[in-house]
């Protein structure tokens, strides 16, 4: 017989990157498990904290241990595999173990403030007594009405519904309770994020040849996980090739195996659409997990997984940590998307962590994209991942859209000024409006104008807390910072010289909307960016209107570039394709530009009418644009991977950035230099190092920022030395953190 544990190692929410030993009382030993939330005494006084059990031990270096006080009432627990995943994240992403474990739980579950919702239910004490009561009290019509309703509801009825059906009030219910004719019971109910949203069930579609081949490979791997072969499948399918149907049928196979699946999408904005498709196929077998839910909804949805009520979790990044205990499949849709990278500790990439969770739990990981990341495609071409290709659209009669490029330099006027829109773009939209078709216009910059300046004195409106110009938003007449979210009223005259000749340079989605309202009078226009889509419900409402044909032109940023499938969209215009091509210091700029252009182009021509895409640029011969025009991912990858290998950039090495941040620049410099002196002996000779220097945006939210860059294949030891230094060496007033496999240099 296995002996019961005596000592528990627990993590408290203190960000100390260490566990504490506690004695396990005999009355708890049989029930306690790794991953459970417990109450423990902490400190010299009578303080009490919650903690998570991460391991057991037979002995401790400390002679006297305080006992665990109790298991938490809600019996929240994490699977042992998730605890191991959290430990891996803490090590790899250089964060405190407590931070990694905390990230595994939604705040609504973690903080203990949200409880199960309850409702009062009424039911008859006795059916015969109710009949007799009605006969004896025939004149008490309200009470008799309640009893008649309950006679037809043997399982009882919720209070509000009962009063509504009986046409009565709570006082009548109280009288019947006093007369002991009815009884009351408090029942737990789930908050339903799908309340009022009905979907029509769908049946699996007959797969085409390429889908069938992909499904066969996936099914084989699902049923045979014992072989020493890759547990990751990369599905490279062009836009409209039917990747979603492959996802749905793969999950159906998992459900038939009585196992569980996770479906990740990169952004909350894509979740409602995906959830709708999955509910239509799987009904109530799924839950949804993302930050757009209320705390109560997140709690209830997470508890559905914890209690085993559902087999499928759908959501953004955080859904990866759904506490399934029999996980067979993790799907990462749009695996290339940078939204999978978290910007706060632990700074993990959900795609990469999905691969690790799959390995820990012997689950299959399916990565899908029309434009895979260079890292993932390299892994597939070298045999680390299994590659599945779908090169044709699901319906062979639906062709890829034709893509043309407009050199905006040739559109300039006699003074050399380049207009916002080419004649071809304006005419194409007019044609679509005339034919009752829809258009999407893409610009990856929100706001009305990039900056406000004064030509008289050269003044530029800058953020007082950040090293960036303020963006002008015309509708609100405000200048805002897109880094710290600070705002100020837009001045009518120059604050420096008093000139009235204030100008606004550059353009954003708000400016396009204003111009289009003049250009296309009577057209129905909507804008989708983070300024207008402040809630998921607004996103759903706008897309529903677009789907119904109530919008002629949809203007937006990258949130409209992926995942949308509207057969009546026959034209996509890209206003300024140059925006992402030349980002200072970003070696991924070409990749991101190619992906974005390819994805947004894929929104056109998904129905019976052929699609057209027009890209406006001043760099028409840029390779990223040229490959996007030809829908040529392989060509782009071959060119890009050669450059990466020549420069030893990822995937031929890891990239790690140490950030130093503080209000006093001298202290930031001192901390950076001190840390570099400490870690320099541990830097591998083959690792390339860029010494600490001001960040691309030197100041954000009032704090100066320095960064140090490390690139190489052997960073594990250095990573651990840096982490130990961060948590042991004190630098008051300076925050130091590591971004492993960084996406952005900002």
The position carrying tokens 């009022």 is: 196
Supply the pLDDT for residue 305: 94
Q: What average pLDDT does the segment 558-578 reach?
A: 85
Name the pLDDT band for 45 (thresholds 50, 70, 90): low
Q: How confident is the model at residue 226 (pLDDT cuts 50, 70, 90)?
A: low
117-136 tens-digit pLDDT = 888 888 898 888 888 988 88
CB 694 within 8 A of CB 705: yes
Summarised one tens digit per residue, pLDDT across range 281-293 is 998 899 998 877 8
Q: Say if CB 275 and CB 536 are below 8 A apart.
A: no
- Greatest Cα pair distance, the chain, in angstroms, is 97
Handedness of CA 393, 396, 397, 401 (dihedral sign): positive
Least confident of 229-238, 579-588, 627-636: 579-588
The one-character DSSP state at 20 is: E
Contacts 24+ apart (CB under 8 A), 347-354: 347/93, 347/95, 347/737, 347/738, 347/739, 347/740, 347/742, 348/89, 348/93, 348/103, 349/741, 349/743, 350/264, 350/317, 350/320, 351/376, 352/741, 353/85, 353/89, 353/320, 354/262, 354/264, 354/320, 354/330
Q: DSSP assignment, residue 2? A: P
Contact by Cβ (8 Å): 482, 700 = no
In which band, very low, low, confident or very high, does the pLDDT at 199 lie, cut at 50, 70 and 90?
A: confident
Structure confidence at residue 560 as a pLDDT band (50, 70, 90): confident
Q: Is the pLDDT of residue 1 over 60?
A: no
Please write the tens of the pLDDT for every residue from 269-314: 667 778 888 989 998 899 998 877 888 889 889 999 998 999 999 9
582-601 mean pLDDT: 86
**CA–CA separation, 589 vs 328, rounded Å?**
35
DSSP assignment letter at 174: H
pLDDT of residue 136: 87
C-alpha of 441 from chain center: 24
The pLDDT of residue 594: 94
Q: Is 452 exposed, middle or buried (0-12, 13-18, 19+ CB in 10 A)?
A: buried
From CA 37, how far away is CA 110, in angstroms rounded? 9
Quick check: 193 pLDDT over 90?
no
Q: Closest Cα partner for 219 from 366, 324, 354, 322?
A: 366
Average pLDDT of span 515-526? 94
The pLDDT score that the predictor gives to residue 532 is 82
What pLDDT is attached to residue 655? 93
Tokens 């015309």 sit on residue: 474
Residue 404 has what pLDDT? 94
Q: How far apart are CA 555 and CA 529, in angstroms?
A: 8
Taking only the tens place, the pLDDT of each residue in 54-99 is 999 988 999 899 999 988 877 788 999 999 999 999 999 999 999 9
Classify 733 in phi/psi space as left (phi over 0), alpha (psi -120 to 50) or beta.
left
Question: What's the distance, CA 60 to chain centroid?
Answer: 41
Q: Where are the alpha helices (DSSP H) in 420-547?
A: 423-435, 509-519, 536-547
Beta bridge partners of 333: 368
CA 728 to chain centre: 33
Instruction: Report pLDDT for 563.
Output: 66
**Separation in Å, CA 330 to CA 324, 327, 461, 470, 725:** 11, 8, 47, 41, 35
Cβ-contact 583, 545 below 8 angstroms: no
SS3 532: coil
The more confidently predicted of residues 218 and 729 is: 218
**pLDDT value at 111 more than 80:** no
First to last CA, the chain: 56
Rounded CA-CA distance 75/611 in Å is 54
Share of the chain above pLDDT 90, in %: 54
Report helix, strand and coil shares of the chain as percent, to nearest 5.
Answer: 35, 25, 40
pLDDT of residue 2: 64
Residue with tokens 């699946």: 261
Rounded Cα distance between 363 and 356, Å, is 10
Most confident of 9-23, 375-389, 402-416, 713-727: 375-389
Parallel, antiparallel, or unpaired: how do β-strands 569-574 and 438-442 relate?
Answer: parallel
What pLDDT, on the 0 to 100 scale, is given for residue 690? 92
Beta-carbon count within 10 A of 714 CB: 13
With vertex at residue 116, the alpha carbon angle to CA 111 and CA 122, rounded to the nearest 5 degrees, is: 160
Which of 527, 537, 615, 608 lies closest to 570 in space, CA to CA? 608
d(CA 518, CA 513): 9
Domains of the chain, first to last: 7-110 (3.40.1440.60), 118-189 (1.10.10), 209-390 (3.40.50.300), 402-448+507-644 (3.40.50.300), 654-740 (3.30.70.600)
Contact (Cβ atoms closer than 8 angstroms) between residue 147 and residue 176: yes
Indicate the pTM of the whole model.
0.89
Instruction: Measure the CA–CA gap between 446 and 463, rounded to whole angstroms.
Output: 17
Rounded to an integer, what is the distance from CA 737 to the centroid of its chain?
A: 22
CA 415 → CA 405, 411, 412, 647, distances in Å? 23, 11, 8, 42
Taking all residues of the chain, what is their mean pLDDT, rounded to a whole number? 90
Query: What's the confidence (pLDDT) of residue 524?
Result: 95
Cβ-contact 508, 446 below 8 angstroms:
yes
Strand 569-574, strand 612-617: pairing: parallel
Rounded Cα gap, residues 543 and 471, in angstroms: 27
Q: Where residue 566 falls among pLDDT bands split at 50, 70, 90?
A: confident
**pLDDT average, residue stretch 553-563:** 83
Q: How confident is the model at residue 474 (pLDDT cuts 50, 70, 90)?
A: confident
Nearest to 558 by CA among 439, 440, 449, 444: 444
DSSP class of 299: H
**Mean pLDDT, residues 23-47:** 86
Per-residue 3-state assignment (H helix, E strand, C coil) for 621-645: CCHHHHHHHCCCHHHHHHHHHHHHH
Q: Kindly state the DSSP code that residue 411 receives in the 8-state scheme.
A: G
Whether the predicted pLDDT of 583 surpasses 80 = no
Confidence of residue 49 (pLDDT cuts 50, 70, 90): confident
For 420-428, what is the mean pLDDT? 94
CA–CA separation, 565 vs 263, rounded Å?
19
pLDDT in the model for residue 227: 63
Instruction: Give the residue, 229 or 310, on which the prediction is more confident.
Output: 310
Q: What is the mean pLDDT of residues 21-46?
A: 87
For residue 384, what are its two tokens? 């680390």
What is residue 594's three-state secondary structure? helix
Nearest to 285 by CA among 264, 259, 265, 267: 259
Residue 506 has pLDDT above 90, yes or no: no
Over residues 667-695, the pLDDT tens digits come to 999 999 999 999 999 999 999 999 999 99
Give the model's pLDDT for residue 744: 77
pLDDT number for residue 373? 97
Q: Which residues pair with 371 in a beta bridge?
A: none
Does residue 240 come out as left (phi exceeding 0), alpha (psi in the -120 to 50 range) or beta?
Answer: left
Q: What is the 3-state secondary structure (H, E, C) of 302-355?
A: HHHHHCCCCCEEEECHHHHHCCCCCEEEEEEECCCCHHHECCCCCCCEHHHHHH
Can you tell me the distance from the alpha carbon of 708 to that of 725, in angstroms, rounded to the nearest whole number?
A: 15
**pLDDT above 60 for 374:** yes
Spatial CB neighbours of 680, under 8 Å, sequence gap ≥ 6: none
């Amino acid at each position: 017989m296995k002996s019961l544990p005596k000592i528990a190692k627990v993590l408290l929410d203190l960000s100390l990157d260490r566990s504490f030993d506690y004695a396990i009382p005999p009355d708890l030993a049989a029930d306690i498990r790794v991953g459970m939330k417990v109450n423990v005494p902490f400190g010299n006084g009578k303080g009490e904290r919650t903690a998570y059990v991460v391991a057991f031990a037979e002995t401790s270096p400390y002679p006297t241990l305080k006992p665990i006080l109790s298991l938490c009432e809600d019996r929240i627990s994490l699977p042992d595999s998730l605890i191991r995943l959290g430990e891996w994240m803490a090590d790899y992403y250089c964060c405190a173990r407590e931070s990694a474990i905390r990230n595994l739980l939604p705040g609504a579950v973690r903080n203990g403030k949200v409880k199960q919702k309850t409702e009062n239910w009424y039911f008859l004490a006795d059916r015969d007594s109710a009949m007799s009561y009605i006969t004896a009290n025939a004149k008490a019509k309200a009470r008799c009405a309640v009893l008649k309703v309950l006679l037809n509801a043997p399982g009882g009825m919720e209070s509000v519904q009962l009063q509504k059906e009986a046409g009565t009030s709570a006082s009548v219910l109280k009288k019947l309770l006093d007369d002991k004719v009815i009884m009351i019971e408090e029942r737990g109910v789930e908050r339903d994020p799908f309340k009022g949203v009905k979907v029509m069930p769908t049946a699996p579609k007959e797969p085409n040849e390429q889908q069938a081949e992909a499904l066969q490979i996936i099914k084989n791997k699902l049923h045979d996980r014992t072989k020493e072969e890759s547990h990751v499948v990369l599905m490279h399918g062009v836009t409209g090739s039917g990747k979603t149907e492959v996802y749905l049928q793969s999950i159906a196979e998992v459900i038939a195996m009585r196992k569980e699946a996770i479906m990740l999408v990169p952004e909350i904005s894509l979740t409602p659409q995906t959830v709708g498709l999955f509910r239509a196929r799987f009904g109530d077998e799924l839950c949804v997990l993302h930050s757009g839910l209320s705390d109560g909804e997140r709690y209830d949805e997470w508890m559905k997984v914890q209690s085993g009520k559902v087999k499928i979790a759908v959501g953004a990044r955080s859904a990866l940590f759904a506490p399934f205990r029999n996980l067979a499949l993790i799907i990462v849709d749009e695996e290339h998307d940078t939204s999978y990278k978290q910007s706060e500790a632990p700074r993990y990439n959900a795609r990469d962590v999905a691969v690790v969770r799959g390995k820990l739990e012997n689950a299959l990981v399916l990565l899908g994209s029309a434009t895979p990341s260079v890292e993932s495609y390299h892994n597939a071409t070298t045999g680390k991942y299994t590659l599945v290709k779908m090169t044709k659209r699901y319906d062979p009669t639906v062709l890829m859209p034709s893509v043309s490029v407009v050199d905006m330099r040739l559109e300039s006027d006699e003074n050399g000024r380049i207009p916002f829109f080419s004649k071809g773009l304006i005419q194409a939209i007019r044609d679509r409006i005339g034919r009752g078709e829809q258009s999407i216009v893409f610009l990856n910059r929100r706001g009305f104008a990039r900056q406000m300046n004064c030509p008289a004195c050269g003044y530029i409106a800058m953020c007082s807390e950040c090293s960036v110009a303020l963006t002008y938003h015309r509708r609100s007449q405000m200048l805002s910072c897109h880094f710290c979210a600070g705002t100020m009223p837009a001045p009518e005259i120059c604050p420096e010289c008093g000139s009235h000749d204030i100008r606004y340079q550059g353009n954003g989605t708000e400016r396009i909307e204003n111009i289009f309202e003049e250009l296309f009078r009577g057209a129905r226009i909507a804008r989708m960016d983070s300024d207008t889509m402040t809630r998921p419900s607004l996103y759903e409402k706008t897309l529903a209107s677009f789907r119904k044909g109530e919008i002629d032109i949809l203007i937006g940023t990258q949130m409209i570039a992926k995942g949308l499938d509207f057969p009546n969209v026959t034209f996509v215009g890209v206003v300024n394709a140059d925006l992402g091509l030349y980002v200072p210091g970003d070696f991924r700029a070409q990749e991101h530009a190619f992906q974005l252009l390819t994805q947004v182009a894929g929104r056109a021509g998904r129905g019976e009418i052929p699609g057209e895409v027009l890209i406006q640029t001043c760099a028409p011969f840029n390779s990223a644009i040229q490959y996007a025009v030809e829908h040529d991912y392989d060509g782009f990858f071959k060119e890009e991977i050669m450059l990466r290998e020549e420069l030893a950039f990822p995937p031929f090495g890891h990239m790690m950035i140490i950030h130093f941040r503080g209000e006093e620049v001298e202290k930031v410099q001192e901390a950076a230099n001190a840390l570099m002196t400490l870690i320099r002996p541990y830097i591998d000779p083959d690792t390339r190092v860029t010494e600490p220097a001001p960040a691309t945006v030197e100041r954000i939210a009032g704090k100066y920022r320095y960064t140090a860059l490390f690139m190489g294949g052997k960073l594990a030891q250095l990573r651990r030395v840096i982490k130990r230094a961060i948590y042991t060496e004190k630098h008051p007033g300076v925050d130091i953190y590591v971004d492993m496999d960084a996406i952005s240099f900002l």
